[in-house]
Chains A and B, each alone.
Chain A
Amino acid sequence: MEAHPPADGADEIAAQVEAAMASGLALEIRGGGTKSFYGCPVVGNTLSVAAHTGIVHYEPSELVLTARAGTPLRDIEETLRRNGQMLGFEPPYFGGDATWGGTFACGFSGPRRPFTGSARDFVLGCRIVNGRGEILSFGGEVMKNVAGFDVSRLMVGALGTLGVLLEVSVKVLPQPECEITLSFDLAWEQARQKMVEYSRGVWPISALAYDGRLWLRLSGAEIAAAAAARRLGGDPVAGGDSYWRSLREQTHPFFRSAGDLWRLSLPPAADVPPLPGEWLWDWGGAQRWLWTWAAGEEIRTAARAVGGHALLFRAAHPPARFFQDLDPSLIALHRRLKSAFDPKHILNPGRFGEGF
């Protein structure tokens, strides 16, 4: 299926970056502005990619879609839905204006992530403008590609600090024929055991969370999902979709608390040293949300102790230096990489942390 997208705005975006490089004035890259809370604040002239829209190429039989950065995420999901397909990483929107570019610049993934893959996992290729104003393509539209360094996946979650995303190509998935959500009234310790047990089994699970109850989603052929539901027991949840949407979009009541919202990425069954605050477990325990007023160092140390990491997802007060926990040697490498892509440090400088 060849789409007919609006005019290509790539050259104009590249020209703006080139002008910024010449003047040394920083740019704040902006799509729909729905995730501007994330990362450190940037001071710079706005570089909007919102007008660079359109699905460039979509081939359902190839499971591949390429779209421009400014394309509204909802348009892409609607197009896929009409063809019985979906994005396998269930991307959060955080607002109706979410764009394709912002989705990958932030690299967030929803509840389906541990079972199907992350935003980065589905990326096949991209077209970017680097900090020299050059338009470059990496990867492509095929599932396997090891020619050159994997710059496409490096761009995911880099918050535009290594390049302005122009186009991203992804692998898409067929929609499951049927989804069933179950919930279980379980105390914390029991729920944790169940999560481990279910994850080690061959159940067609596509989401697993604990918010005081255990929530589980099954996806697949109707006959298989129904059979799994019967064997697992629990309470069937009518309209389970809205529950998973509330987790993905952080509209679940848990997210209406006060303090700093931390995201801890951990081995799923890890025992974290006690921290004050309120918890919600997603991704079968591999992604945990914590509302707390505790000091960042305490949280980072706790996550590191079990081999994970913590980041300040929504700060009560914007973080001053780093919102992610990096070793000093990694910070130095990040700065060198930043300079390799953006020698004048004009693309979202400091969004990731001091110096990159």
Chain B
Amino acid sequence: MNAFAPDPDRRGKAADKAAFVRELGRHLGAESLLTDPEDLRPFACDALTAYTRRPWIAVLPGTVEEVRQVLRLCREYRIPMVARGAGTGLSGGALPLEDGVLLSLTKFDRVLAIDPVNRFARVEPGVRNLAISEAAAPHGLYYAPDPSSQIACSIGGNVAENSGGVHCLKYGLTVHNVLQVKVVTMDGELLTLGSLGLDGPGYDLLALIHGSEGLLGVVVEVVVRLLPIPETAKTLLASFASIEAAANAVAGLIAAGLLPAGLELMDRFSIHATEAFVHAGYPLDAEALVLCELDGMAGQVEADAVRARAVLASFGAKELREARDEAERKKFWAGRKAAFPAVGRLTPDYYCLDGTIPRRRLAEVLRRIGEWSREYGFAVANVFHAGDGNLHPLILYDAQKPGDLARVEEFGTRILELCVAVGGTITGEHGVGVEKIDSMCIQFTPAELRQFHALKAAFDPEGLLNPGKAIPTLHRCAEFGRMHVHGGRLDHPELERF
């Protein structure tokens, strides 16, 4: 069975499909319904371009009521549906279905309200992440989570993936910064999760919807918490003679009781690639560099910077620079945020991983990745959110070379297995989507996967919302044939077979 496609019995019959489209047409204007293969081409993939598939049809509703109608009809006709925001996802979560509806939320692009007194913004799901901070800036407020794609990615997608960013070490993930969401469920019901206070009534469904990858409902409105723009920010750049030394310095900063706003690590390859691309002023003789940003009230930042410098020096920082002004600080970060495209210029294709590990295992895991890189003959660029142990190794390859993609995926899977074995996870912020669905079998037991499916069924009993993503079937895991290695402490050689 191909888990990326719905079960055949779930698909609407051809005659029903014609009736479905006619009914849709009664609720949506003709311009909101795309059926021409040419019009459907832009929806064939998200930012994980290795997987493409044209949807059967695409709908672009403009109101919550229209979204409800679309979902009600899909349920009635048993037609599967995939929701899509800006399409910047990195795990194929928005990959459409050949027999399904692609629901695009791009028309939901309005900032509905900024409440500076209660410090929240009420926005539609298609609003870009950065646009929220721009709208809040006149009030001295901003929205903290800042994924690297923040100029393009939408807040609805951020909720679906529980996006992180370079500042989440101190300010948390999307789930920590959203107060309320409105969600349309598969039966067309509009639910309000959370509240305009700091918590909501009942079970914490607001937390549950974060990172649910479009499997539980369609987000149609988001209320995010806004924070005061920090008075000042200082960014330190430290270079090291080895990546291990840099990784140890990162652990040292946290152990010293510092909580930097951002703490990033780049290896030699990424430094050179980035420098050639955006000229951030990075030291080219370093094996690794650490970017450490401290923000807050001026006096606090001064005190923290003195301590951070001492820690970095004690771990053998060769060169220790502080951004002299705001322009240089932005340049330091521009380099980091451009690291993926910078590496992309040097290779026909790259495969980006997203495992997270305990910080103390950083040096060891990086060493193993280096060994495997030589073994497979693929170069690896390491650039990641070191403060929270979130790795982003980029494996460089050429998809045109026969067999290379398969070998890269094998290499990637080994890295993810290692992440789980040292007590980490297969995905820190990019999501499982279609890309890492087999690796879910490594991280979870059959009983845990069954619990996920039961939870999903409480929202969507017929499995029509984004089927085949995020949670593998037990059947698929049995075919994948990998052993579950939970947290490195519980081996399950008795893994059930199906």
Chain A interface residues toward B at CB < 8 A = 59-64, 84-85, 107, 113-114, 117-118, 120-121, 130, 134-138, 140-151, 153-154, 156-158, 162, 173-175, 196, 199-204, 220-221, 223-224, 227-228, 264-270, 283, 286-287, 306-309, 311, 324-327, 329-330, 333-334, 336-337, 339-341, 352
Contact B300 A144 (CB under 8 A): no
A134 CA to B451 CA in the complex, in Å?
Answer: 10
Number of residues of chain B lying within 8 A (CB) of chain A: 98
Nearest CB of A to B473, in Å: 14
Contact A221 B303 (CB under 8 A): yes
Partner of A202 from the list B297, B425, B444, B456 (CB cut-off 8 Å) is: B297
Contact A199 B119 (CB under 8 A): yes
Give the contacts of B372-394 with A (CB-CB under 8 A).
385, 388-390
A202 CA to B230 CA in the complex, in Å?
Answer: 6
Other A-B pairs, 7, CB within 8 Å; known A151-B208, A151-B451: A62-B251, A85-B257, A146-B430, A265-B197, A307-B197, A326-B201, A333-B205
Known contacts A146-B162, A202-B297; A154 and B201 CB within 8 A of each other: no
On chain A, the residues within 8 Å of B120 by CB distance are 267
Contact with A along B171-186 (1 / 0, CB 8 A): 0110110001000010
Contact B176 A309 (CB under 8 A): no
Partner of B389 from the list A60, A143, A146 (CB cut-off 8 Å) is: A143
The stretch from B37-45, B110-118, B279-287, B317-325 touching chain A is B110-118
Contact A340 B458 (CB under 8 A): yes
Q: Which residue of A lies closest to B226 (CB)?
A: A200
Partner of B451 from the list A130, A144, A223, A270 (CB cut-off 8 Å) is: A130
A138 CA to B64 CA in the complex, in Å?
Answer: 33
Contact A61 B471 (CB under 8 A): no
A121 CA to B199 CA in the complex, in Å?
Answer: 11
Q: Which of B161, B255, B357, B459 has the most CB of A within 10 A?
A: B255
Contact A311 B201 (CB under 8 A): yes
Nearest CB of B to A343, in Å: 8
Nearest CB of B to A178, in Å: 10
The stretch from B127-135, B188-196, B338-346 touching chain A is B188-196
On chain B, the residues within 8 Å of A118 by CB distance are 198-199
Nearest CB of A to B443, in Å: 5
Contact A144 B202 (CB under 8 A): no
Nearest CB of B to A66, in Å: 10
Partner of B197 from the list A121, A135, A286 (CB cut-off 8 Å) is: A286
Partner of B440 from the list A134, A147, A224, A307 (CB cut-off 8 Å) is: A147
Q: Which residue of A lies closest to B390 (CB)?
A: A144
A307 CA to B448 CA in the complex, in Å?
Answer: 36
Contact B161 A59 (CB under 8 A): no
Contact A149 B212 (CB under 8 A): yes
Known contacts A221-B303, A267-B115, A341-B454; A62 and B254 CB within 8 A of each other: yes
Contact B427 A200 (CB under 8 A): no
Give the contacts of B184-231 with A (CB-CB under 8 A).
185, 189, 191-192, 195-205, 207-208, 210-212, 215-216, 228-231
**CB of B164 within 8 A of chain A?**
yes
Q: What 4 A-B pairs are tightest by C-beta distance, nearest first?
A: A307-B196, A265-B197, A174-B257, A153-B207
Known contacts A267-B115, A308-B195, A309-B195; A144 and B388 CB within 8 A of each other: yes
A-B CB pair tally, cutoff 8 Å: 263
Contact A142 B425 (CB under 8 A): yes
| A and B contact pairs by CB, cutoff 8 A, 25 listed | A64-B358, A84-B257, A114-B198, A138-B448, A140-B424, A141-B423, A144-B388, A149-B208, A149-B215, A150-B208, A151-B451, A153-B175, A153-B207, A157-B203, A158-B204, A200-B228, A202-B230, A202-B231, A204-B297, A223-B302, A267-B118, A307-B180, A308-B196, A337-B203, A340-B457
Nearest CB of B to A65, in Å: 13
Nearest CB of B to A232, in Å: 12
Q: Which residue of A lies closest to B446 (CB)?
A: A134
**CB of B126 within 8 A of chain A?**
no
On chain A, the residues within 8 Å of B258 by CB distance are 174
A266 CA to B179 CA in the complex, in Å?
Answer: 11
Chain B interface residues toward A at CB < 8 A = 115-120, 139-141, 161-162, 164, 168-169, 172-173, 175-176, 180, 185, 189, 191-192, 195-205, 207-208, 210-212, 215-216, 228-231, 251-252, 254-255, 257-259, 296-297, 299-300, 302-304, 356-360, 385, 388-390, 423-432, 436, 440, 443-445, 447-448, 451-452, 454-459, 470-471, 486-487, 490
On chain A, the residues within 8 Å of B140 by CB distance are 200
Contact A144 B176 (CB under 8 A): no
On chain A, the residues within 8 Å of B451 by CB distance are 130, 134, 136, 151, 340-341
Contact A144 B204 (CB under 8 A): no
Nearest CB of A to B426, in Å: 5
On chain B, the residues within 8 Å of A146 by CB distance are 161-162, 211, 425, 427-432
Partner of B202 from the list A84, A202, A334 (CB cut-off 8 Å) is: A334
Contact A143 B202 (CB under 8 A): no
On chain B, the residues within 8 Å of A286 by CB distance are 197-198
On chain A, the residues within 8 Å of B172 by CB distance are 117, 121
Q: Which residue of A lies closest to B486 (CB)?
A: A137
Nearest CB of B to A146, in Å: 4
Partner of B455 from the list A59, A287, A326, A340 (CB cut-off 8 Å) is: A340
Contact B204 A61 (CB under 8 A): no
On chain B, the residues within 8 Å of A145 by CB distance are 356, 425, 427-428
On chain A, the residues within 8 Å of B304 by CB distance are 221
Contact B425 A174 (CB under 8 A): no
A333 CA to B118 CA in the complex, in Å?
Answer: 30
Known contacts A144-B173, A150-B208; A333 and B429 CB within 8 A of each other: no
Nearest CB of A to B63, in Å: 19
A334 CA to B459 CA in the complex, in Å?
Answer: 10
Partner of B162 from the list A63, A150, A200, A270 (CB cut-off 8 Å) is: A150
On chain B, the residues within 8 Å of A201 by CB distance are 228
On chain A, the residues within 8 Å of B164 by CB distance are 144
A173 CA to B299 CA in the complex, in Å?
Answer: 20
Contact A287 B447 (CB under 8 A): no
Contact B176 A62 (CB under 8 A): no
On chain B, the residues within 8 Å of A64 by CB distance are 358
Contact B176 A121 (CB under 8 A): yes
Known contacts A118-B199, A140-B424, A267-B197; A154 and B204 CB within 8 A of each other: yes
On chain B, the residues within 8 Å of A85 by CB distance are 257
Q: Which residue of B lies closest to A268 (CB)?
A: B118
Nearest CB of A to B277, in Å: 26
Contact A173 B297 (CB under 8 A): no
Q: Which residue of A lies closest to B444 (CB)?
A: A148
Contact A154 B432 (CB under 8 A): no
Q: Which residue of B lies closest to A143 (CB)?
A: B388
A134 CA to B430 CA in the complex, in Å?
Answer: 29
Nearest CB of B to A121, in Å: 5
Known contacts A117-B176, A141-B423; A162 and B203 CB within 8 A of each other: yes
On chain A, the residues within 8 Å of B251 by CB distance are 61-62
Contact B358 A59 (CB under 8 A): yes
Contact B196 A266 (CB under 8 A): yes
Contact A142 B356 (CB under 8 A): yes
Known contacts A61-B360, A146-B429; A330 and B202 CB within 8 A of each other: yes
A174 CA to B139 CA in the complex, in Å?
Answer: 31
Contact B454 A144 (CB under 8 A): no
A6 CA to B216 CA in the complex, in Å?
Answer: 40
